Structure 1
Amino acid sequence: MSTLEDWTARIEQLAGELGLEYCPVDFELVPQNFMLEIAVYGVPVRMHHWSFGLRYIHQLLHQNMGHSRIFEVMFPGDPCRAYMMNQNSLAENTLVAAHVIGHADFVRRNCLFDRFLNMAGGHILEQSAARAYRLELALARHGQQRVEAVLDAALALEPHIDIQQELYRPPYPDAKPAPPRAAGEPFQQRYRSLPGEPLASPQPTGRAPMPPHPEYDLLWFVAHYAPELQDWERDIFLAVREESFYFYPVHACQIMNEGWASYWHARLLREAEFLPPAIYLQALKAHSDVVRPYAGEQQLALAVNPYHLGFSMWERIVERQGIEAARRICNEEDDFGFIRNHLEADLASELGLFSYQMRKDGETRMLSRDIHEVREAILAPKYNYGAPRIAVDKVQEDQSLVLRHDHASDGRGLDLAAAEQVLNYVARIWRKPVTLLTVDFRGVPRTLTVSHPDMPYTSAKPA
């Protein structure tokens, strides 16, 4: 009787014949509780924090209620690491192995993954374990309360990176003082001294603005410019930022990546003539469970299954444009380009996609089936890592920090209660007053301020 290792080896051979290219994949069978921890923490070994415990409970409840089932977790790198649940059937794990090979091919081809993996390195698991070890040393030296306060702030700012910048980015260049203004000709000096002329404006002190431009990489800025941060605290901020960079392509290419892996696991199994009929039929049933829409017939769902949408789009692209065109799209796009350029109106209609609005009174309204609005509704949660777009506006002379919510490009107001909590976390680390300029959900300007780091609340008032 053939084993999972036998089927996986033969599927890999078939994948090579079909033109898939990828770094070697290390497959490992793990128990359900270990798989759940990986899904919650993001990696097998990561810095400990109470927020991961909340995520664990949430994931466990969903799993026990039948709303979520984890088949595999794959980490890009060289080699790729794939964890499969040992409680899956042989047929399910055969499908999972083919799915992982599809992921590995996507990661090898996609330019966004290539850029971020080149910056973050291809050994995320070892790097994450090393960071967790450094955190344990900090806990032993500085105590849980101090370390947890730093992690509270760093993880609250986890999505706030600037993906256009490099991971290992140097500080701002040293600013040179502005040259003094020339005194001017004698006539100009006499003209300025005439009665009734306004007093001359103060000469610039030469202090360059900080930051020199709106800074959207909040983790980087706090790590480098918080006035009283110690080295071990900076290390935590930079560690969280590095992991955020590593995970960004997973977030930004989810629909493409899961759809590509689903397309290839379906094709590999379909063309794997060596699989016994019983294994193939059971794997086909698992495939149907993975790529089905969240709602059944005659029902509407308020969320899109990325496996279903991505699989449907790739099938349509390969059918109409061919596999080489699909590989070119795989290389060049992320989910933003994929959805805007390749989700066609007829497919959206066939899949029953629509945009909707959830009102404050709890009512949900369907807004439109227009393809442009549907595309933007799918992409809206992905913009800026799913977080509000916040920039460091300036650091005042007294080193107080001013943040500004870029609501014009963000297209939404802030949840003021959540913003207040994050500001308190940041103020404890910045250790000077922190202000956020924003708008609420009605578009009314608001100013939120933590005037002292030890304040348990903020003041929120109209701007």
Structure 2
Amino acid sequence: MSGGLLFEGKDWSFETLQDIHDAVAVVAKEDLRLDTFPNQIEVITAEQMLDAYSSTGMPLLYRHWSFGKRFAQYEGVYRAGLQGLAYEIVINANPCISYVMEENSATMQALVIAHAAFGHNHFFKNNYQFRQWTDPGGILDYLAYAKNYIAACEERYGEAEVERLLDSAHALSAQGVDRYPRKRPISLAEEERRDRERRDERERLYNDLWRTVPGGGETRRKTVDHQRALLRLPQENILYFLEKAAPKLHPWQREILRIVRLIAQYFYPQQQTKVMNEGCATYCHYRIMSSLHEQGRITDGSFLEFLQSHTNAIRQPTAHDQTYGGINPYALGFDMMCDIARIARAPTEEDRQWFPDLAGSGDEMAALKDVWANYRDDSFIAQFLSPHLMRKWRLFHIIDQENAPKLKVEAIHNERGYQDLRRTLSSDYEVGRHTPDIQVADVDLAGSRRLVLHHRVFAGKLLDVVDTALVLRHLTTLWGYDVVLEEVDAATNEVLKAHMASPEP
């Protein structure tokens, strides 16, 4: 179907999907110059979409009771009409897999193909966070390996024992990632091959590491120092530490910890790029759908249907709105992408002062592609949130101190407040602000084998007591000995609070 309407009405067929994909690809490649993985589009039912929700959107994932629990929760809310489903789910793989709902109209299929199969796809392939931390070509094979391995463990050691281990591993998955790369990661397939080869060597190392430390002052000290060096303390990746050093874990348990942490690491870039990723995909689908309408490939009615969905996606409720839940990443991301394009194309004098290298460059797509490749949310906002957009959003900075009688307006969208607003908003997207900085600090190698962890406290924010007790219980299950978690002031190194846990008898 060349040059005419891609579809009329809401109905579609698989041939229609192919025509839509091909037309979207032309605009994405020729007009936007997007660089994407090959696409694989899967049409699924509402129940399958709920299932994908429940297992973090990944196919072939291993079984766990928590996935079934989430499925029941999502299904109940959906069947009651209290919440809709996403029109699509996209997976960072090569080829890039986009799940689209069979209930979607033809217009919505065009929208989600533009959004996911080309917008998200380009971002996954080119952003430095995903290039640094993920292996799109190997993830599906690794998931198949993980599913089969855990199923084999369930058959051999019992479902209850495997489930108990996964419960503990999942509880620590947020602290099971490396935040700073030490070396270029190898592919997941290579990880699997190398692991099989080094299991014997690993067991020899564990036996050497945890054998009784010999007596005698100098010999004892040297042995302990050597063992500390092997443990590479302090260690931010707690699951990695437990996988390598927990004294009582069996080889199959260490392998399951490795599976959980590698999958957690795979999702780590998405935590840091929500605004940029959705902003990129939303900007791309807006440009592509507008171009298809201008070319006469979709009708006015279809374009109005698209605009209604697009407007709902980028709606930013005010603080007094009952639906307010913070800043909408679609809204902020899309507005910032449009603003960057405006600055590159038609800057004001203010833009030239704030963005001398970007303003008037003329090639908005080159500017956007550079941004999409080289930033994450916090650095993106710190660099590109403009005074123009701060005024449009009517941003202001409020300080809410627990002991203060009133709120304090620290900055507003004026000349004095622009830098403060940009810095404050960008800091809200730093990963450390939402995930506690907890590291393995020490372990008593020569005696009780007590494990000591430190939580670096910023701005006096201590951990929730109940949640901490639950997580420590899982930690002691994996470690096998006593665990102490000290909350340490990041500025003074003063221990503010200590939590202790012992393994269940």
Structure 2 match to 1:36: 50
2:390 pairs with 1:348? yes
2:445 pairs with 1:394? no
Q: Which residue of 274, 281, 286 corresponds with 2:304? A: 281
**Contact kept in structure 2, 1:423 and 1:434, CA below 8 Å:** yes
2:123 pairs with 1:106? yes
Cα deviation for residue 433 of structure 1 reads: 0.8
Cα deviation for residue 223 of structure 1 reads: 0.4
Secondary structure of the structure 2 residue equivalent to 1:74:
strand
Distance 1:347 1:391, change over 3 A: same
**Contact kept in structure 1, 2:234 and 2:439, CA below 8 Å:** yes
Structure 2 match to 1:134: 149
2:253 pairs with 1:253? no
Structure 1 match to 2:482: 433
TM-score (norm 1): 0.82
Q: Which residue of 22, 25, 40 corresponds with 2:36? A: 22
Secondary structure of the structure 2 residue equivalent to 1:70:
coil
In the TM superposition, 1:128-277 aligns within 5 A as 128-160=143-175, 161-165=177-181, 166=183, 167=185, 205-206=221-222, 207-208=224-225, 209=228, 211-272=231-292, 273=295, 274-277=297-300
- Code of the residue aligned with 1:270 in structure 2: it is S
Structure 1 match to 2:132: 115
Distance 1:73 1:437, change over 3 A: same
Secondary structure of the structure 1 residue equivalent to 2:132:
helix
Give, in whole Å, the separation in 1 of the partners of 2:239 and 2:142: 18
Secondary structure of the structure 2 residue equivalent to 1:449:
strand
Cα deviation for residue 399 of structure 1 reads: 1.9
Structure 2 match to 1:180: none
Secondary structure of the structure 2 residue equivalent to 1:159:
helix
Give, in whole Å, the separation in 2 of the partners of 1:52 and 1:307: 27
Secondary structure of the structure 1 residue equivalent to 2:442:
strand
Cα deviation for residue 277 of structure 1 reads: 2.1
Give, in whole Å, the separation in 1 of the partners of 2:105 and 2:461: 45
- What is the aligned-residue identity percentage? 27
**Contact kept in structure 1, 2:90 and 2:98, CA below 8 Å:** yes
Where does the alignment leave 5 or more consecutive residues of structure 1 unmatched?
A: 175-200, 456-463
Structure 2 match to 1:420: 469
Cα deviation for residue 360 of structure 1 reads: 8.3
Secondary structure of the structure 1 residue equivalent to 2:428:
helix
Give, in whole Å, the separation in 2 of the partners of 1:308 and 1:324: 22
Distance 1:434 1:257, change over 3 A: same
Distance 1:373 1:394, change over 3 A: farther
**Contact kept in structure 2, 1:251 and 1:382, CA below 8 Å:** no
- Code of the residue aligned with 1:154 in structure 2: it is A
Cα deviation for residue 4 of structure 1 reads: 2.6
2:104 pairs with 1:88? yes
Give, in whole Å, the separation in 1 of the partners of 2:139 and 2:77: 27
Give, in whole Å, the separation in 2 of the partners of 1:144 and 1:13: 50
**Contact kept in structure 2, 1:23 and 1:79, CA below 8 Å:** yes
Structure 2 match to 1:315: 338
Distance 1:70 1:382, change over 3 A: farther
Q: Which residue of 450, 454, 457 corresponds with 1:407? A: 457
Secondary structure of the structure 2 residue equivalent to 1:147:
helix
Structure 2 match to 1:304: 327
Give, in whole Å, the separation in 2 of the partners of 1:364 and 1:12: 54
Secondary structure of the structure 2 residue equivalent to 1:47:
coil
Structure 1 match to 2:95: 79
- Code of the residue aligned with 2:373 in structure 1: it is N
Cα deviation for residue 357 of structure 1 reads: 7.2
Residue deviations 1:243-296 (CA, integer Å, cap 9, x gap): 111111122111101101100100011111122222222112111111111449
In the TM superposition, 1:352-363 aligns within 5 A as 352-354=394-396
2:368 pairs with 1:326? yes
TM-score (norm 2): 0.76
Give the total of aligned pairs: 422
In the TM superposition, 1:45-84 aligns within 5 A as 45-60=60-75, 63=78, 64-84=80-100
